[in-house]
Each structure stands twice: as structure tokens, then as C-alpha cells.
Chains A and B, each alone.
Chain A
Amino acid sequence: MLNKRTSCRKEQDGLLESFLSGGESASLPADLRIHLEGCASCRQYWHNLAVVRSGYPQDPLYSPFLRAKTLRRLANRDQAIRVEWLPLVVLAAVLSLSLSYVLPVWLLSRLFMQWTSSAAVAYGAALGIMLVLGLLVTVASAISLIERGYIHLSNGKGLSNPTETPAMTMLNGFPSI
């Protein structure tokens, strides 16, 4: 059976060509029609091409639930951080990192430690690297949030929202930063 199938490669290529150009078995070239009559394997192949076409999944995939979920997400998107806020977010992150690392170290050094210059340089370099890394992480997080739609990349023009709740209306009433 396997040998028979291997030897029918040319015929099956022909059947595939005919099928893709929308051919019915009646409009197949004569040599292919004759071959089909005598070859069960190719008949099955021809039949399977039709089965593939008719057997494409038919169950509905779009539902009112998906619609509502998507609209809710679109509405929430309007509440997300706007891109105009991005510099402020980055600035806040840098300040917070600076305060977390630099201030305590500075206080410690003033109060308890006697620095030699080389140790201070090494420590300063390490702090600098940490700050740069922190900044990179913040920027990467912001990009990731933008990609996922949590940060709104628009001109800041709000969208009227049919599913707006009183709380959301109240939030909308606040002046934007």
C-alpha cells in the first residue's frame, strides 16, 4: 500500500492542483479520472481534500460574553495612565530609587562611616549602576504596560463610555495631571 501511495505522488499533485483551482471530479483531466477509477488510495486522497474543506471548524467563536469583556477592557483602558503622564512616572521612579538608595547611604556615611576615597568611588559606581538598572527596569515596565494597553497612547482625548459607573464618572471629574 505504501509503495502504491509513493508511486501516486505525481497524480496526487495533479489532484491537489485541480482541487485548489476549484475542480470537480467531472472536470478532472482524463488521465487523472482514469487513474482515480483504478486507485483506491488516490480516491481516498481526493475525497479527503473535500473533507478538509467541509470539515473546517464551524462552532461560533464570537459571543456576547466576549463582546462585553472586550468593551469593558476598552472602557477601562480609558481610565489607564495616559502617555502624557509617562515622564512623570519615570521621574517619580527615579526619585524613589534615589531616595531609596542614595539618601540612606549618604546618611550612613555621614553618621557612622569613615570613607576612604577608593571605597567611596567603588560604592558610588555600584550605586550608579543600580540606579541605571532601576531606570532601565522602569522604562521596560512602561513599554510593557504600553504594549498591553494599560498606558494609553493617544492624544488624551477621552472616549464617552456607555458602561460608565458613578465611580468612574467621579474619577473622570478630577482634573488630569
Chain B
Amino acid sequence: MPMAIEPALDERQLILQLKQGQLDAAGGLMDLHGESLMRYLHSILGSREAAEDAFQESWIKVMGKIDRFDDQMSFAPWLFRIARNVAYDALRRKRRWWPINTTRQTPKPNELDTEVADPTDFGHQVVARETIERLLKSLSPDFREVLFLRFFQDQSYEEIAEYCRLPLGTVKSRLKRGLDSLAKNLMKGDSHAQ
């Protein structure tokens, strides 16, 4: 799951095998990075189906470019950068054909689950997760991406800036605005319940 660690020996061997044209090595690499890659793509695209399409597309691109991959580099950032390009291309295609508004859309309070009071209670945690999932979908992909990298991948601001090729200040402001929006929308749900 961590993206910035040194590549393990197994990973190096798998990359070497993939360069030699062994397709099953791609399966091994998928097992190593599949879950975090899917989550990352999901964070950008906002739906499982779109993330799965982008996942497959990313691996096709990886296969096409693996000969150019420098073995001394870490594989995960390279893979995630390819996936990021694929995801944003998919978003652009989607916008071109289905001009939907992917900028911030705040759900109405009555669309929110209202029981998020106690995060130590398992039942509430499930509700909160569903609510947060829905709220995350209402954020723009740019905000979702940085929130995911910060809170799910435990990336530092500097790492996020490098991944997303954004200035550090933009990363911080997106994180703040995204988090602020989520917390305030959760609060709207609470006050609606009261």
C-alpha cells in the first residue's frame, strides 16, 4: 500500500520478468499495488466502474512502457503517475461527451445521513462511512485526490505535490478546502437532524 517505499526484491524480479515479456509478472505486480491503485483511481473518478476501466487501461499503458522504466526508480510512483494520466484522460473524455458539472456540488441536507454523532459506535461508523463516501463524490476530483493521498496513503504534502505536479501551496489549500467542506457538510446533516 505505501507508495514511496523502496521496491522490494520481489517487485524488482517481477519488473524484470515483465520486461522479459512474462505476463504473469503483471499479475504479481497487480497483487502488490492493485488495492491502493484502485483506491487512488476511485478517489479521482468517483465510481468503481470507472476506476476498474482506468485500472485496466493503466496496466495496458504500463505494459507498453515497461521497457522504458528505470529499474533504479521506485515502481509505485511511476505506476500511479501513469494511472493518474489515464484517470484524468477518462474525466476529460467524460466531460467532452457528457458535459456534467464535476465542480463542487454540495448535497442538500436531507440527502445526507444524519447519524454521525459517535464514531466509536460501529453502527455509526458504517453510516458515517456511507455518508462520507457520498460527500466525497460531491467533491471535485482534484479535492478527492489530495484527500485520498493524505488520509489513505499517508503521503506528506511534498509527496502529494510531486505526485500531482502541483505547487505545495495548492496542495495545502485543496486539502483544507476539501476537508472543511466535508466537515461542514457533515455538520449540516447533524443540524438537520436536530
Contacts and interface: CB of A to CB of B under 8 A. Distances in A.
B125 A44 contact: no
Nearest to A70: B56
A50 interface: yes
A19 B175 CA distance: 11
Interface string B35-73: 101110010000010011001110111011001000000
B180 A67 contact: no
B23 A45 contact: no
A173 interface: no
A161 interface: yes
A54 B64 contact: no
A56 to B, nearest CB: 6
A162 B131 contact: no
B79 interface: no
Interface residues of B, number: 51
Interface of A: 1, 5, 12, 16-17, 19-20, 41, 44-45, 47-58, 60-62, 66-67, 69-71, 73-75, 77-78, 148-149, 152-155, 157-163
Q: Closest 4 A-B residue pairs measured CB to CB?
A: A62-B34, A61-B38, A149-B60, A55-B132
11 contacts: A12-B180, A16-B183, A17-B176, A50-B119, A53-B151, A56-B132, A58-B129, A71-B30, A154-B63, A159-B63, A162-B23
Interface of B: 21-24, 26-27, 30-31, 34-35, 37-39, 42, 48, 51-52, 55-57, 59-61, 63-64, 67, 116, 119, 125, 128-129, 131-133, 136, 148, 150-152, 172, 175-176, 179-180, 182-184, 186-187, 190-191
